[in-house]
Amino acid sequence: MLYINPENCRNRETRESFQGLKQAKFQRKRMLKQFSLVFFVLLACYNGVNSQELKHITKELEVNAPASEAWELYRKLGLLKLIDLKLTNIFQSTEVLKGDGGVGTVVKLTFVPGNSSYTEKFTVMDDQRRVKETKGLEGDCLAIGCSVQILEFEIIEKSQNSSIIKSTISYAVKEEFQAKDPKPSIQIVEAIVQSSKKFLERNN
């Protein structure tokens, strides 16, 4: 009869258990190293984006119209309709490439005479604060050396029948284009705001 020493079995089980623990510990350490590497890569990318110095151009224009009416024009696709009606001397066409006017909507504005355009994405649509923000995807300052271009419209209530349209362009310039000092087309934004002022005041 074959005799098996129980002590040997226990030792074998202990060794296997110990080896299993060592292997599991090794795998955990390996996963931790991989996670740390991914974390530091993401952190470096984040710091790289945020280390870009954003410049800001801010304009304010008072309008003799309630803030609620001004916001109704600026939110969603209201401005595109105004551009198509009143700014045909600047814009050849407007096109909604994606979405219905909410966050995530992508629109393309083609300038006269049609050989340049600007594409942007709606990133913020805050009805409570009356803030709309768009991020440039291509064209305008992005075509001449900017790495970031963000446009924000804020409608500020001044009184029951008056408000302020605050427009802010934030942009960052690529290091190799710093000497050329490229800037977004603030004149185009001003033309849109002035046109919206006339439209709102004519209806009040």
Instruction: Give the phi and the psi of residue 177 in degrees, each rounded to 5.
Output: -110, 10
Length reported for the chain: 204
- Sign of the Cα pseudo-torsion (183, 188, 194, 200, in order): negative
Instruction: Report the DSSP beta bridge partners of residue 132.
Output: 125, 153
132, 158, 174, 180: the active-site residue: 132
Each residue of 143-178: b (16+ CB within 10 Å) or e?
eebbebbbbbbbbbeeeeebbebbbbbbbbbeeeee
Rounded (10°) CA dihedral 86, 90, 92, 95: -70
CA-derived radius of gyration, the chain: 29
Distance linking the first and last C-alpha atoms of the chain? 108
CB atoms within 10 A of CB 179: 8
Report how far residue 2's alpha carbon sits from residue 4's, in angstroms, rounded to the nearest whole number: 7
132 is catalytic: yes
Q: Enumerate the active-site residues.
A: 132
